[in-house]
Amino acid sequence: MTPIALAIHGGCGVMAKLGLSEEEWQAARADLAASLRAGWAVLVKGGSALDAVEAAVVVMEDSPHFNAGYGAALNENAEHELDASMMDGSNLDAGGVCAATRIRNPVKAARAVMEKSSAVLLTGAAADCFAERNGLDIVAPDYFTTERRQKALAAMKAHAKAGTFAAASESEKHGTVGAVALDGSGHLAAATSTGGYNNKPVGRVGDSPIVGAGTYARDGVCAVSGTGQGEYFIRLVVGHEIASRVAYLGETLEAAANRVIREDLKSYGIGAGAVAVDAKGNVTAPYNTDGMFRGWVTSDGRLHVASHGEVFFVETLEDGAQ
């Protein structure tokens, strides 16, 4: 029996528990569960890890609860510049877009770059045009804007003026979505999509579209998608670092991910989190903030979601026995 597994995150920039009403928490958790169901439906039919992570990320990009696609963060000019990437662990193929402004689902554009372009990463207007030429949905930039992100931008500008950036909440600062999967053929894949952080400089590119930093997948080792201040994920090459600890030090996935997220990144004083799955279908979702939107389906089909410490069992889906 080949195990299959899926894990997702909706960013470690989670509000304090009292920051949202119980209905809003439930709505966010419902969208996490919908994302997992979409990815799992692919895997359970024998579909590929790539298709599964794409399906899972699209649901979160279309949800207003997470900082990617609809509901993405705004830069210092109150504009959206969206980053995304995808990696295929079977052959180390990868694709990404950064500073895209009109692509409804940047993760689909990342996939198109991976499969249809000789480039690994396309930027800005070129990424938008490439997506359009390849038949992806194009939207007006204000499609992505929500009231919550406008308020977060105003709060970050006020912090910047008052010199109180450190006091800003994780949810005011950032967020991201991502998915990792192991399919029935033993292949691993990862995908990540983000609006970056609120009030980011125009043209700033984070870790999410950078292979090895915010996204990494290698068959036989693991697949990783990260969330947290991207500059540090790039400098510590987080996705590749976790995979290297597993591959070369023989650490368990959990030990490797915990070490990088809870010790290495924590030591810089930045909020960070990740989801990862290994070649046996073990999943892990460490974070060093108060909470991280996250969820997973293990090979027995059990679906869990969480935002803070409490983990909710939602349901048992068709299992992965094949």
Shortest distance (Å) from residue 170 CB to ligand ASP: 8
Active-site entry in 123, 145, 176, 289: 176
Whether 176 is catalytic is: yes
Shortest distance (Å) from residue 304 CB to ligand ASP: 21
CA distance 276 to 253: 7
Is 207 near ligand ASP (CB under 6 A)? Answer: yes
Nearest CB to ligand ASP, comparing residues 11 and 184: 11
Is 229 near ligand ASP (CB under 6 A)? Answer: yes
Contact residues for 85 (Cβ-Cβ < 8 A; gap 6+) = 94, 95, 96, 97, 110, 121, 191, 192, 208, 209, 210, 211, 214, 215
Answer left, alpha or beta for residue 298, where phi above 0 means left and psi between -120 and 50 means alpha. beta
Size of the chain in residues: 322
Task: Select from 238, 310, 233, 223 the least CA-distant residue to 275.
Answer: 223
Shortest distance (Å) from residue 249 CB to ligand ASP: 25
Is 206 near ligand ASP (CB under 6 A)? Answer: yes
Is 239 near ligand ASP (CB under 6 A)? Answer: no
Is 69 near ligand ASP (CB under 6 A)? Answer: no
Nearest CB to ligand ASP, comparing residues 214 and 320: 214
Rg (CA), the chain: 18
Binding to ligand ASP, residues 131-190 (CB under 6 A) = 174-176
Q: Which run of H or E residues covers position 95?
A: strand 93-100
Is 208 near ligand ASP (CB under 6 A)? Answer: yes
CA distance 225 to 275: 6
Shortest distance (Å) from residue 74 CB to ligand ASP: 13
Residues that contact ligand ASP, how many (by CB under 6 A): 16
Cα–Cα distance list, 197 to 113, 169, 278, 294 (Å): 24, 12, 29, 19
Catalytic residues: 176
The residues that touch ligand ASP, with contacts defined as CB under 6 A, are 11, 13, 174-176, 194, 196-197, 206-208, 214, 227-230
